[in-house]
């Protein structure tokens, strides 16, 4: 097990390094450059251009730029945003917390609710509730998340006026202490609901099909033949075996959410990394973009390593 964990961690680090390098190259291959954005459309003063290029180090060959960037990144210095003129590291730390708050809350809620629904549906296969759950799962699974977010805003904010539609806190009415937490929770309801509704069907279907499959395994028939109670068989043997695919899907889905939440953050004006990333892409803000990608790849790698370790504790067969 120790060897396995070490290997997974090492693989994670390697992944981050590779992603880091590929990002560095891809961003610079894309057309457009940040200098033009700073200088503006009509201004094409060669002296200013050279000065700016020198300031940000774009005059050096790409390999040198890469070496410098890698060296700085290792010490935690991700450079200075070309557009905002602020330290990238500070900008990201400020915004990564809301993103992770949103993503983790949604992912954990979705995995719990979806799996419970799947368990119920599998136990009562063919019942009315199973049919309703499965039908709803199809509908929500085929909905684009950002559209669902907009519809929720229309229903709960515009028409019913129950919930705030944007931001993380009420800027006009600053709260402290417990009220602050409550304020954040109220603001989280809609974006979290959107993500949860879109994620539930995945966990629902995985849990249901996996439980049904395990229920038909030979060892379950053997356990039934021993006279063991159905409850014990389900809680101890079926669940433990059926939960394995859910763990895998949780890892994949969480990684997808961390990077894919940008659109939802935009819909709800959530002050996370998503909106920062979208502006950075539009304005070719290389340092910011690189920084966000780096943090995201680290988050994804950490999630993957954790999921792999959790999986290995559940399934002895893959501890190689």
**Of the residues 209, 217, 263, 306, which one makes contact with another protein according to CB under 8 A:** 217
Does residue 4 belong to the site contacting another protein (CB under 8 A)? Answer: no
Q: How far apart are CA 5 and CA 53, in angstroms?
A: 44
In this structure, are residues 192 and 106 in contact, taking their beta carbons and an 8 Å threshold?
yes
In the block, tokens 């499959």 appear at: 213
Give yes or no for residue 236 binding another protein (CB under 8 A): yes
Binding test (CB under 8 A) with another protein, winner from 31, 40, 76, 227? 227
Choose one: 87-95, 176-184, 227-235, 265-273; the region binding another protein (CB under 8 A). 227-235
Least separation, in Å, of the C-beta of 235 and another protein?
11
The yes or no reply on residue 212 touching another protein (CB under 8 A) is no
Q: What angle do CA 285, 27, 251 make, to 5 degrees?
A: 100
Is 316 one of the binding residues for another protein (CB under 8 A)? yes
Radius of gyration of the chain (CA): 24
129 interacts with another protein by CB under 8 A: no
Span from 27-35, 83-91, 142-150, 237-245 in contact with another protein (CB under 8 A): 237-245
Give min distance, CB of 314 to another protein, in A: 6
Q: Which residues, at least 6 apart from 268, have a Cβ–Cβ distance to it below 8 Å?
A: 149, 153, 165, 166, 167, 190, 191, 194
| DSSP bridge partners of 160 | none
Cβ–Cβ < 8 Å for 24, 297: no
Stretch of 127-135, 140-148, 274-282, 310-318 contacting another protein, by CB under 8 A: 310-318
Minimal distance in Å, beta carbon 311 to another protein? Answer: 11
Strand partners, 151: none
Under a CB-based contact definition with an 8 Å cutoff, are residues 164 and 157 in contact?
A: yes
Residue 237 binding another protein, by CB under 8 A: yes
Residue 1 makes contact with another protein by CB under 8 A: no
* Three-class SS state of 169: coil
Taking CA atoms, 233 is separated from 126, 212, 219, 229, in Å, by 21, 13, 10, 6
Member of 222, 235, 248, 282 binding another protein (CB under 8 A): 222
Q: Cβ closer to another protein: 71 or 232?
A: 232
Q: From its phi and psi, is residue 292 left (phi > 0), alpha (psi between -120 and 50) or beta?
A: alpha
Distance in Å, CB of 160 to another protein, minimum: 45
Rule CB under 8 A: which residues touch another protein? 217-219, 221-229, 232, 236-237, 240-241, 244, 314-317
């Amino acid at each position: 097990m120790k060897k396995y964990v070490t290997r997974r961690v090492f693989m994670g680090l390697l992944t981050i390094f590779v992603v880091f390098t590929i990002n560095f190259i891809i961003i610079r291959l894309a057309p457009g450059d940040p200098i033009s954005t700073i200088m503006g459309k009509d201004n094409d003063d060669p002296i200013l251009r050279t000065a700016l290029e020198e300031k940000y180090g774009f005059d050096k060959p790409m390999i040198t730029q890469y070496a410098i960037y890698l060296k700085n990144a290792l010490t935690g210095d991700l450079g200075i945003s070309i557009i905002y003129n602020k330290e990238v590291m500070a900008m990201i730390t400020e915004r990564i917390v809301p993103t992770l708050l949103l993503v983790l809350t949604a992912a954990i809620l979705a995995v719990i609710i979806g799996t419970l629904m799947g368990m119920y549906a599998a136990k009562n296969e063919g019942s009315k509730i199973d049919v309703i759950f499965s039908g709803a799962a199809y509908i929500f699974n085929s909905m684009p998340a950002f559209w669902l977010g907009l519809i929720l805003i229309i229903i709960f904010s515009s028409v019913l006026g129950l919930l705030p539609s944007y931001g993380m806190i009420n800027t006009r009415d600053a709260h402290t202490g417990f009220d602050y937490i409550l304020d954040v929770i109220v603001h989280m309801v809609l974006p979290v609901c959107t993500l949860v509704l879109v994620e539930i069907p995945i966990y629902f279907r995985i849990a249901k099909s996996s439980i049904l499959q395990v229920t038909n395994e030979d060892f379950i028939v053997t356990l039934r033949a021993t006279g063991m109670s159905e409850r014990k068989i389900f809680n101890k043997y079926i669940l433990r075996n059926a939960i394995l695919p859910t763990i895998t899907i949780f890892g994949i889905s969480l990684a997808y959410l961390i990077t894919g939440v940008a659109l939802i953050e935009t819909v709800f004006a959530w002050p996370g990394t998503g909106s920062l990333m979208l502006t950075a892409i539009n304005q070719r803000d290389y340092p910011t973009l690189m920084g966000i990608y780096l943090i995201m790849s680290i988050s994804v790698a950490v999630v993957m390593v954790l999921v792999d370790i959790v999986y290995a504790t559940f399934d002895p067969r893959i501890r190689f």
